[in-house]
Amino acid sequence: MSSILEWEENLFLAIKALYRRLVVSPRERHLAAVRAPLEPLRQELFLLARMVAGRPVAIIETTQRVLCDDEHLFLPTGFDAAPSVEANEELFRIKTLLGALALRNAGSARPLAPLRDRLSDWAAEFPGLCDRITRLETSLAGHDLWSLLGEPAIRSTNETGSIRPAEDREATDPEPDDDEITEIKGEGRAGVKSIEDPGEQPVEAEMPIHTFEKAETLEEANGIDRKTDEDDELKDHEEALRSLQMTQVMRSRERPRSIYRADLVIDGVHLEVGEGPPPEGIPYPEWDYKQRRHRPDWCYVRQTLARDADPVWAASTERQHRDLILDLKKKMASLATRLERRRTRPQGDDLDLDAVVRALVDQRAGQAPDERLYIERRRQRHDVSALILMDLSFSTDSWIDDARVLDTMRDTLFCTGEVLDEFIPDFAVAGFSSNTRRQCEFHLIKDFREQWAGSRARLGSLTARGYTRIGPALRHAQERLARESGERKIVFLLTDGRPCDYDRYEGEYGIRDVRKAIETGARHGIMTHAFAIERRAREQFPRMFKRQHYDVVPSPRALIASLCGAFARLRLET
């Protein structure tokens, strides 16, 4: 990397650093002090928007100054235009509120007046609104509130786009390996075009460079040192990526080396996977909501059995979570020993007063009394067959609360398995991933009737792979359960809540397919209950699962308790 220009570069960097310290930094420090970030407010704003708009709304993070489109509300990562944190938070609330109000009217044919002229329409409903806007405007010295908020970009009804909360990956190393990957959060963008991969091969030769060139150009403009090594360099490119104007995206089959995560609204083409050699596996149908019919034999599921095990991982996970496992076992035991009182039994712990009185009455009346005078307490539990289905896709490689989602899920399954093993012998654990409809993997970790002790270490060797095609995995799980004998049958699904596959299995199509698979299962007596750690799943889950059939839990620890609790409920309910 050394070159004869090194001293010039160093001089330049030194001047740049000085400039930053003297000029840029004080301004940035001030802005940072008053800045209100979106993340802590996100859930509140989502709920506010949902209430006001009266229909499902998705929040997209973007720097574009657009208020909303037909179904999305656009919010920046943070506001720092106002002089205090509170006022910047107020900016978020006002923008959300106005966006939701505009969304409510989306779809009406008449051309819409600028936002500020429409305030009077809403004043009757929200008398407090105008005052709050006026107060906010006054506090924004030097900034125009209306340009900060942006105007609605309502599209005409025949133009469709799909929301794709995408993980746009910056694959800088074609060789897969298991090193930790870097993830930075990018800004969302509306109106992104999806361009097709010109050929199957070689992917890395053309398109990633095409995308990468843009970042490089920006990088030069920002005067950053140009590095050419092939490692994970996303961190170094962060500044350049921040100003990336993403207008086109392309899919790649490669494992990500770094993740640049951004919410995109893609104006899209329908990408089908071309015909190839006949795929292997068990064919399953897929629901096409536009055609209102199943596509027969559309997805091919290959069931594989996990063989690699990591006993070291299992031992350390057991050590790490020993207290939690014990605690849950105690809880389950207390639930499992909840007794049912059975009256008029020939033996039991208590006298059944009703039976005694009845016997007395019969005796007095000269009849032979019934001798079943006792109340018996005994366990009554349902016979449950359950299959825990775990999302193994690349998106589980992301981080929530300083923990990788995949690790959290593995730990959860480990603890759940430890607890359930004592109470419910008959359960199976499987992971799923996909790479187009022709390659849906169903990775069996513990089969029914297999020993938990012998299979638990396999969790340790799981790695993230592929995409999230939930439908076929669910259908296969249902197929497996249908052959089991339990009185109650249930699939527990652990996912981040976003159906997505390489061949356009996403957005409304994916959601409807998952919903259809769940409905079909329910008709055959197989329930589905979904879990997610990510609070954002609240934006997706209600569209796939019925109320009461999913849990969005705030933390990894809560996930384990929630999963065990669901089992207990199922087993004990009468």
Partner 1 sequence: MSGKEIFYLETGRESELFTEAWRARLPLMLKGPTGCGKTRFVEHMAASLGRSLITVACNEDTSATDLLGRHLLVGGETIWCDGPVTRAVREGAILYLDEIAEARADAIVVIHPLTDYRRELFLDRTGETLQAPPEFMLVITYNPGYQRSMRELKASTRQRFVGYTFGYPDEEVEIRILCGETGIETAAAAKLVSIARKVRNLTELSLIESVSTRLLVDAAKLIARGLPPRFAAAAAIAEPLTDDPDAMKAIRQIIDLTF
Q: How far is the CB of 399 from partner 1 (least distance, A)?
A: 21
Pick the closer one to partner 1 by CB: 125 or 275: 125
Between CA 468 and CA 477, with CA 474 as vertex, the angle to 5 degrees is 125
Residue keyed to tokens 């790695």? 463
Pick the closer one to partner 1 by CB: 312 or 353: 353
549-555 contact pairs (CB < 8 A, 24+): 549/518, 555/401
Instruction: Please state, as a whole number, how many other Cβ atoms lie within 10 Å of the Cβ of residue 190.
Output: 21
Residues 106-125 contacting partner 1, CB under 8 A: 125
Q: How far is the CB of 123 from partner 1 (least distance, A)?
A: 11
Select the residue interacting with partner 1 from 39, 86, 349, 354 (CB under 8 A).
Answer: 354
Q: How far is the CB of 572 from partner 1 (least distance, A)?
A: 9
Q: How far is the CB of 396 from partner 1 (least distance, A)?
A: 23
Select the residue interacting with partner 1 from 261, 358, 372, 377 (CB under 8 A).
Answer: 358
Q: How far is the CB of 548 from partner 1 (least distance, A)?
A: 6
Select the residue interacting with partner 1 from 97, 102, 559, 560 (CB under 8 A).
Answer: 97
Pick the closer one to partner 1 by CB: 8 or 44: 44
Quick one: which segment of 78-86, 176-184, 303-311, 354-362 binds partner 1 (CB under 8 A)?
A: 354-362
Q: How far is the CB of 337 from partner 1 (least distance, A)?
A: 18
Pick the closer one to partner 1 by CB: 45 or 386: 45
Pick the closer one to partner 1 by CB: 326 or 357: 357
Q: How far is the CB of 128 from partner 1 (least distance, A)?
A: 4
Q: What amino acid occupies position 530?
A: A
DSSP 278: P
513 exposure class (CB count in 10 Å sphere: 0-12, 13-18, 19+): buried
Give the N- to C-terminal CA distance of the chain in Å, as an integer. 71
Pick the closer one to partner 1 by CB: 37 or 542: 542
Give the contact letters, 304-343, x = binds to partner 1 (CB under 8 A), - = no: ----------------------------------------
Pick the closer one to partner 1 by CB: 96 or 393: 96
Q: How far apart (Å, rounded) are the C-alpha atoms in residues 263 and 188?
A: 4
Are the C-beta atoms of residues 428 and 377 closer than 8 Å to each other?
no
Instruction: Give the count of residues interacting with partner 1 (CB under 8 A).
Output: 33
Instruction: Please state, as a whole number, how many other Cβ atoms lie within 10 Å of the Cβ of residue 521.
Output: 22
Q: Which residues pair with 460 in a beta bridge?
A: none
Peptide bond connecting 202 to the previous residue in cis, omega within 30 degrees of 0: yes
Q: How far is the CB of 538 from partner 1 (least distance, A)?
A: 6
Any contact of residue 361 with partner 1 (CB under 8 A)?
A: yes
Pick the closer one to partner 1 by CB: 235 or 569: 569
Pick the closer one to partner 1 by CB: 93 or 242: 93
Residues 522-551 contacting partner 1, CB under 8 A: 538, 542, 547-548, 550
Any contact of residue 493 with partner 1 (CB under 8 A)?
A: no
Alpha carbon 346 to chain centroid distance?
A: 54
Are the C-beta atoms of residues 458 and 395 closer than 8 Å to each other?
no
Q: How far apart (Å, rounded) are the C-alpha atoms in residues 509 and 520?
A: 16
Q: How far apart (Å, rounded) are the C-alpha atoms in residues 137 and 147?
A: 11
Select the residue interacting with partner 1 from 116, 132, 295, 331 (CB under 8 A).
Answer: 132
Are the C-beta atoms of residues 443 and 483 closer than 8 Å to each other?
no
Pick the closer one to partner 1 by CB: 159 or 573: 573
Q: How far is the CB of 137 from partner 1 (least distance, A)?
A: 17
Residue 335, SS3?
helix
Hey, what are 552's tokens? 């969005």
Residue keyed to tokens 């002790």? 453
Q: How far is the CB of 107 from partner 1 (least distance, A)?
A: 17
Are the C-beta atoms of residues 37 and 77 closer than 8 Å to each other?
yes
Hey, what are 254's tokens? 């490669």
Residues 239-298 contacting partner 1, CB under 8 A: none
Residues 33-92 contacting partner 1, CB under 8 A: 43-45, 47-48, 50-55
Select the residue interacting with partner 1 from 64, 119, 126, 327 (CB under 8 A).
Answer: 126
Query: At a CB cut-off of 8 Å and minimum separation 6, what does 146 contact?
Result: 114, 115, 116
In the structure, how many helices (H) and strands (E) does the chain have?
A: 18, 22
Q: How far apart (Å, rounded) are the C-alpha atoms in residues 177 and 32?
A: 37
Helix axes 311-320, 322-336, angle to 10 degrees: 70
Any contact of residue 360 with partner 1 (CB under 8 A)?
A: yes
Pick the closer one to partner 1 by CB: 35 or 538: 538
Give the contact letters, 362-381, x = binds to partner 1 (CB under 8 A), - = no: --x-----------------
Are the C-beta atoms of residues 432 and 391 closer than 8 Å to each other?
yes
Positions that interact with partner 1 (CB under 8 A): 43-45, 47-48, 50-55, 93, 97, 125-129, 132, 354, 357-358, 360-361, 364, 538, 542, 547-548, 550, 569, 573-574
